[in-house]
Amino acid sequence: MPILAPRRRMAPMSPETEEFTRTRGLPLLIGIIALGMGVPAYYMWSVPRLKARAESILAEAPTDAAGRLATWFQFGQPNIHNALILARFSAEQPWYVTHVIASSSASQAPEIWGFDFTDLSPDVLRVDDTTVYLEFPAPVLLANDVLVGDKALGVPVFGSASALEDPCDLARRRLERYLERTRAGLVRDIPEADLVVRIGPSSGS
């Protein structure tokens, strides 16, 4: 039968040590609670202020639709540009993927088509009178690879190139859906304005 070593009894804390431990733990607990409450409180405070600022800018803008849109574009263009950056497939694959074409050969990976957003210029957005245009050339072959991850689930896959009638129209419709909320916000602020996506050689990009 193994011989168990006697358990060592911890020396009781002195009243001074116990009081010191409680004193140190209390501010730490208060700090954790304050931090947890402070983050949402900051957003609850800052978001209405930013929204009020945007509404104030629009209210002070010219009364005609073109003038109001030019003012909206000052803060709308960076927001749309940043949204497009976030739409990239990944940091390692900085593409906006429009579609994939399956390979007819087992030795070759599928074709990934879309736009390379590695150095996305804000110039893809421009305003003309009462319309904001987002313009890209036709989708290009980005790589032969297999897409993995959650974002790959929403990418259309075609069995062959002939199965895809118009890649420019497909890319346009996918970007329009992606920017649907942005367009709705623009029309709500300026009913005469619109956000139009143009894809293809005639886009001017």
How do the domains of the chain map onto residue ranges?
16-60, 63-203
Q: What letter does residue 149 receive in the DSSP assignment?
A: S
Q: Determine phi and psi for 119, rounding to 5 degrees.
A: -125, 65
Distance from the Cα of residue 78 to its chain's centroid: 12
Residue pair 179/118 in contact (Cβ under 8 Å)? The answer is no
pLDDT along the chain (205 residues), means of 10: 54 53 56 61 64 68 85 90 91 94 88 94 92 95 93 91 91 93 92 95 58
Predicted pLDDT at 89: 93
Predicted pLDDT at 17: 52
Q: Tokens 């346009």 map to which residue?
A: 172
Predicted pLDDT at 13: 54
Predicted pLDDT at 20: 47
Residue pair 182/195 in contact (Cβ under 8 Å)? The answer is yes
